């Protein structure tokens, strides 16, 4: 069992001011796999003081110094790559093949992309006799989730360090193992003391303390919309910047001119990737009503071929959901879908046969869903797809936008111009045409209750920068 009870503050591994042990559960075995300590006010104050002190010097480092630092971090990350993938698989149940190919790669990708962007990024702009400067915002509190742990750490820490900010990271207490390894990478790469700090804790504890802290200049949060609003409320009295990447209930519009078999297969597989635990998952599949039965048969066939099992087994397609709490919530929503009259195509309540231990959920597809049903409104965050029939393109677009969320949208069409027209009318931050997915340079973020600000690539730098205009600079 891993003992990760220390925090990383001011370039050192330190004991918590007051130990508060917390067990980390392996979701595939339901056994304790690690122990951390939840932080408190003294730990947060110590980390913020270290970050504040370090900011004075780190913010003045040269572009080249920071490029070299990010490249050093990426090099160490590559050395620890398999350790990081194994930690992700253990802490949140991702199949090891998926953890290695996708989950772990995101951390490396964001470090490399931040270094690439930084080499050419413009921190100054002339406006006649005046000059505009983009300067690091200061000390940043970063709160990251359990579902894509390295992705969310990487897309916050990398740009923050690139532009000259210092940070305090609070990863999810449910899946903190990979964050510990990230801190080890930072240390070995030579990140200066106080520039990166790690304090474990829960939202009501450390998360609230960070959000309220008067010496933190900016909060970057990824998680549920409910928790994100609390971060914003706690940050409001100190008028600090808050950026949020929150929930989603993303539509996947299969247009009349799409290849139905290909589109449905792709949509179902995408929904079940990461056990449905992705905020941008294509969880609402909109299908032409006349072809709904055909789409159901295709979806059932794909779902029945999903291999559930031990995340450490390279043949596993889908592991467990992350916790008992998540399992119970997903089960309740599946039951509610049945009670509200949705057609259960495949899956359903209860654990899959042979998987009585572990938080395993049956790959589930509902059909004949209307957009007012609970399963069409709430983010289930599990392997549950809802299929919604539509009649006419205008109805499909209306249903797609009939949600408080706006993180992502998906359009499937055999005509690229047709797909572009429909994509332009979906109110969401990321639209995927025919399954396309952007690289680390493409901005990520949402409309409406899916958040504000953008992460990834050059667009991700903006959240960590303040704008200073110096008038008369050139006179």
Give backbone dihedrals phi and psi of 93, rounded to 5 degrees, phi first: 85, 10
Q: Is 279 a catalytic residue?
A: yes
Annotated catalytic residue 245: yes
Q: Per the structure block, which two tokens stand in for 103?
A: 């989950």
CA 449 → CA 371, 432, 446, distances in Å? 17, 19, 8
Q: Which of 279, 296, 379, 455 is catalytic?
A: 279
Pairwise CA distance, residues 138 & 260, whole Å: 50
Integer-rounded Cα radius of gyration of the chain = 23
Quote the CA–CA distance of 5 and 35 in Å, as a whole number. Answer: 6
Is the separation of the CB atoms in 141 and 211 below 8 Å? yes
Which three-class secondary structure state does DSSP give residue 392?
coil
Q: Residue length, the chain? A: 475
**Do residues 106 and 438 make contact, with C-beta atoms less than 8 angstroms apart?**
no
The tokens for 90 are 């253990």
- Three-state SS for 113? helix
91, 245, 296, 379: the catalytic one is 245
Tokens of 228: 């994100």
Do residues 281 and 450 lie in contact, with contact meaning Cβ atoms separated by under 8 Å? no
Using CA atoms, how far apart are residues 403 and 400, in angstroms rounded to an integer?
7
| Catalytically active residues, by annotation | 245, 279
């Amino acid at each position: 069992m891993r003992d990760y009870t220390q925090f990383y503050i001011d370039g050192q591994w330190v004991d918590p001011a007051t130990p508060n042990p917390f067990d980390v559960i392996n979701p595939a075995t339901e056994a304790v796999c690690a122990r951390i300590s939840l932080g408190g006010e003294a730990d947060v104050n110590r980390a913020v003081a270290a970050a504040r002190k370090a900011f004075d010097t780190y913010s003045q480092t040269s572009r080249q110094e920071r490029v070299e630092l990010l490249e050093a971090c990426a090099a160490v990350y590559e050395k620890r790559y398999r350790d990081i993938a194994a930690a992700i698989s253990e802490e949140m149940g991702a199949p090891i093949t998926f953890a290695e190919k996708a989950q772990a790669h995101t951390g490396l990708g964001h470090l490399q992309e931040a270094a690439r962007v930084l080499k050419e990024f413009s921190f100054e702009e002339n406006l006649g006799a005046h000059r505009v400067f983009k300067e690091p915002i200061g000390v940043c509190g970063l709160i990251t989730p359990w579902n894509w742990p390295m992705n969310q750490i990487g897309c916050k820490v990398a740009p923050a360090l690139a532009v000259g900010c210092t940070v305090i990271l609070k990863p999810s207490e449910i899946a903190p193992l990979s964050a510990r390894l990230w801190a080890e990478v930072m240390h070995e790469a030579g990140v200066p003391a106080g520039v990166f700090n790690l304090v474990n804790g829960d939202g009501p504890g450390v998360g609230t303390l960070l959000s309220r802290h008067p010496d933190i200049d900016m909060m970057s949060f990824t998680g549920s919309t409910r928790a994100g609003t609390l971060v914003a409320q706690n940050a409001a009295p100190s008028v600090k910047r808050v950026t949020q990447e929150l929930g989603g209930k993303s539509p996947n519009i299969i247009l009349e001119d799409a290849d139905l078999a290909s589109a449905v297969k792709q949509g179902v597989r995408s929904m079940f990737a990461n056990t449905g635990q992705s905020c941008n998952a294509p969880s609402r599949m909109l299908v032409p009503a006349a072809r709904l039965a055909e789409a159901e048969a295709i979806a059932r066939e794909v779902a029945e071929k999903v291999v559930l099992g031990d995340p450490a087994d390279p043949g596993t397609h889908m592991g467990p959901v992350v916790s008992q709490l998540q399992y119970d919530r997903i089960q309740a929503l599946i039951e509610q879908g049945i009670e509200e009259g949705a057609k259960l195509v495949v899956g359903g309540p209860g654990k899959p046969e042979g998987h009585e231990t572990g938080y395993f959920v049956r790959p589930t597809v509902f059909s004949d869903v209307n957009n007012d049903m609970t399963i069409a409104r709430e983010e289930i965050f599990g392997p549950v797809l809802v299929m919604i029939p539509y009649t006419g393109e205008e109805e499909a677009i209306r249903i797609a936008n009939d949600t408080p969320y706006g993180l992502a949208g998906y359009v499937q069409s055999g005509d690229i111009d047709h797909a572009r027209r429909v994509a332009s009318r979906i109110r969401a931050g990321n639209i995927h045409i025919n399954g396309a997915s952007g690289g680390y340079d493409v901005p990520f973020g949402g409309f409406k209750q899916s958040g504000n600000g953008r992460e990834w690539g050059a667009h991700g730098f903006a959240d960590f920068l303040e704008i200073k205009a110096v008038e008369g600079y050139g006179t």
